[in-house]
Amino acid sequence: MREHVEVATADEMRGLGRRLAADLRAGDLLVLSGPLGAGKTTLVQGIGEGLGVRGPVTSPTFVIARVHPSLRGGPALVHADAYRLGGVAEIDDLDLDSDAASSVTAVEWGEGLAEGLSEDRLEVSIELSGDRRTVRISGVGSRWAGVALAAA
């Protein structure tokens, strides 16, 4: 499964996150990549809104990871930032996999580091071109085989 969406504003990015949340369930992992300012946190804010978690969802750059519990009985959102991590061993130290079965886990800057957390994941790449963004969503593993995302 591979989808791409063009996004022009922060509101559109949050809307994409809300639509994407409709396809997410406990145990899902999202690995987000893209340059600084691309909209990774904004997308996760929309996912948090769609999942109905306690907020606000803000960048976890300085705390590395935050857990946002559900306000409506769904999965929690674990939002992590791997930007300052030095390697796979440091992501293992966060114990993100301990909450993985009961949460949706979104890891910013996780490319090359967080894939080992799950064989099934969504890889979300955000590319900047002027003031437009192209969001590419690729499903990896049997969980995403044949899934048509509501976000596309």
Does residue 58 lie within any of the structural domains? Answer: yes
Does residue 152 lie within any of the structural domains? Answer: no
Listed range (17-21, 116-120, 122-126, 128-132) with the worst mean pLDDT: 116-120
- How does the average pLDDT of the chain come out, rounded? 83
Model pLDDT, residue 96 = 54
**Residues 39/50, Cβ–Cβ less than 8 Å:** no
Residue 123: name the closest of 113, 132, 115, 131 by CA. Answer: 115
Does residue 32 lie within any of the structural domains? Answer: yes
N- to C-terminal Cα separation, the chain: 11
Percentage with pLDDT > 70 across the chain: 78
Does residue 150 lie within any of the structural domains? Answer: no
Q: Which domain CATH number covers 109?
A: 3.40.50.300
31 forms bridges with which residues in the sheet?
107, 123
| pTM to 2 decimal places | 0.87
Q: What is the mean predicted confidence (pLDDT) over 108-136?
A: 84
Does residue 123 lie within any of the structural domains? Answer: yes
**Residue found under tokens 């406990």:** 26
What domain range includes position 30? Answer: 2-144
Does residue 31 lie within any of the structural domains? Answer: yes
Q: Is the dihedral of CA 137, 117, 147, 23 positive or negative?
A: negative
pLDDT digits (tens, 9 = 90+) for 8-65: 999 999 999 999 999 999 999 999 999 988 999 999 999 999 999 998 888 766 556 7
Number of folded domains in the chain?
1
pLDDT digits (tens, 9 = 90+) for 63-91: 567 788 999 999 999 888 875 555 554 55
Tokens of 53: 């978690």
Single-letter amino acid, residue 68: H
Q: Band of the pLDDT at 146, cuts 50, 70, 90?
A: confident
Does residue 39 lie within any of the structural domains? Answer: yes
Which residues fall within 8 angstroms of residue 147, CB to CB, at 6 or more apart? 1, 23, 139
**Residue found under tokens 């809307």:** 15
Does residue 48 lie within any of the structural domains? Answer: yes
